[in-house]
A and B are shown apart, each in its own frame.
Chain A
């Protein structure tokens, strides 16, 4: 097949390209330039482009750079800022996969005549009974199927995730055996477009923070926060509360009234949550599911139906805006956003 492999300059996508080549595919590498802002850290810095290009040269495959900066800003960065402004907790990596890698890049690849797009994600695409399944990676600790939950049949049919069958250690071994310069490169961390000053510094440049009151469930004023936009559900520290009491956590954030309500650990538990923006790997599913509510969260048994996720046992709140991926066993069913 004629395969376009998205090469971030990291070890996983480097090995993905090498594996595709070994499998006999006609491989072309591409690095997306997504963010030229002051952070210039994550998947799109010039040094990462250089690493990707050098690996492509080493493998003897063509390599191009696609400038998707406009789409990244409009489809990932601006929604990220807007979500905080609305008191939500967004997952920009999910948005990037949805809007950039598995949409913008896919359309570009299709227009250029490629049969498939490959990435270095740790997850598995499996053909079964004429349908495509998206499955957790062989390396459970590195599994990234959560951020790919939006892939549908049409996309999966043209997606290759070559490192999904390998453990991270195996990936590094392969890279080292091939002498790839990225073999020992550390894993990327956090949100790629944020570096200096962290999330707070990044958002401070882009939105006006609202000072807020912290109250208990009875409405008693317990403290103050400088920015309600930065408070995440479940947060314990940084709420301006006096010590010496039982731990209290942010239970809800109301931007309009600039109020954070806190409660004890028991108040954090809910029986169900509502989900929106649902996508499905192979059509809508109801009934028993395992719900993963954060990138590395432990799956929770639940029943899904009519946009409601009913937990099997009272379960920790999920911050509105967070991605919830639904599984059955290791298979991804789909997912959505906690409302």
Chain B
């Protein structure tokens, strides 16, 4: 059995989302911009999904821009911004890279993984701080960020927040909010950027003028329908969060107790339930992942590059973890279908794997 503990990378598609998508993958085939009946039905499906997404994310339907996912939403939020741009040092590269490319710079974080709000420069024109960090699971103080930069255009990448917290509430203070469907049981390849009324965006894709000129391109109807369905299911989160927080605590506490030289990264009190983020002394996360894979555990190191190699995590290094230790990271992330048995399997396998690697490192 494979214990799938990589929900923060991608979460399995919820059966209800698949069910909702199927008619739009086989049978129904209208282009939502057309005139005829099939097209009108596709458009209706997109608009009903948009209404649902808007209601769940706390915005109006007009403020929802469907995208190909979180990366596009993040890039769209940053595109065309001028003046003084800042983002936290622990942003996903989908924010970090465009901000830096636009001449922006980064705000430091504490050793516990929370952004240093005091370091936000007064007069910043654009500020981007994620709602929940993807490596540590630490929730960021968005209201305080807003208060520190009342006049800035404020973007929050809520991609890792959406499975766990009420984005409508947490991101109410942001002008732009990114989400991605596959992090909470929707399909890959679809997401959204919430653009509050009056906040300008510069389209990355021009053409047919979909999404009120903010994102051209034929709608991914099945994806959008699956997105809305998964988000609705994820919104019923109280019981699941409680269950997964207990499982996560058992996992983290169990590993810290059974593997000497293990440290949890980030302040657990500020974390979303499903993320177990650890660093182990004296081992390489890259090697650990291979051993875990061979033992049927699907996990991640903090971050991977496109080639599949593991880089030292920029998030952990921003938190002051030294480079060698930042190579020894492991992220086990739980999600909607995680079972107790999967956590038990990790508790049984990880300590032995770490010991094996340490034996050879000595």
Residue numbers of A with Cβ under 8 A of B are 31, 33, 46, 49, 53, 62, 64-67, 69, 107-108, 110-113
Contacts and interface: CB of A to CB of B under 8 A. Distances in A.
Nearest to B361: A111
A21 to B, nearest CB: 17
A41 B293 CA distance: 30
B329 to A, nearest CB: 13
A31 B286 CA distance: 13
B307 A108 contact: no
Contacts of A108: 284, 287
A33 B290 CA distance: 16
Given A107-B360, A111-B357, A113-B356, A67 B310 contact: yes
Contacts of B309: 33, 65-67, 69
Majority secondary structure of chain B interface residues (helix, strand, loop or mixed): helix
Interface in B247-297: 284, 286-287, 290-291, 293-294
A49 B308 CA distance: 9
Contacts, number: 39
A65 B307 contact: yes
B311 interface: yes
A112 B287 contact: yes
Contacts of A69: 309
B312 to A, nearest CB: 9
B308 A65 contact: yes
Given A46-B306, A46-B307, A64-B308, 14 more contacts: A33-B305, A49-B307, A62-B293, A64-B290, A65-B307, A66-B286, A67-B286, A67-B305, A67-B309, A107-B360, A108-B284, A108-B287, A111-B287, A113-B356
Nearest to A4: B290
Interface residues of B, number: 19
B285 to A, nearest CB: 10
A111 B356 contact: yes
Interface of B: 284, 286-287, 290-291, 293-294, 305-311, 356-357, 359-361
A33 B286 contact: no
A110 B361 CA distance: 10
A33 B307 contact: yes
A264 to B, nearest CB: 51
Nearest to A34: B309
Nearest to A110: B360
The list of the 8 closest CB pairs from A to B, nearest first, reads: A111-B360, A67-B309, A65-B308, A33-B309, A65-B309, A49-B307, A46-B307, A111-B357
A67 B311 contact: yes
Contact of A112 (B290, B305, B306, B308): B290
24 contacts: A31-B307, A33-B307, A33-B309, A49-B307, A49-B308, A53-B308, A64-B308, A65-B307, A65-B308, A65-B309, A66-B309, A67-B311, A69-B309, A108-B287, A111-B287, A111-B356, A111-B357, A111-B360, A111-B361, A112-B287, A112-B290, A112-B291, A112-B294, A113-B356
With most chain A CB atoms within 10 A of its CB, the pick from B290, B308, B309 is: B309
A310 B311 CA distance: 48
Contacts of B287: 108, 111-112
A321 to B, nearest CB: 30
A178 to B, nearest CB: 23
Contacts of A64: 290, 308
Contacts of A46: 306-307
A223 B360 CA distance: 56
Contacts of A62: 293
A28 to B, nearest CB: 8
B161 to A, nearest CB: 29
Contacts of B361: 111
A70 to B, nearest CB: 8
A69 B310 CA distance: 10
A111 B356 CA distance: 7
A163 to B, nearest CB: 24
B303 to A, nearest CB: 11
A53 B306 CA distance: 13
B151 to A, nearest CB: 39
Contacts of B310: 67
Contacts of A66: 286, 309
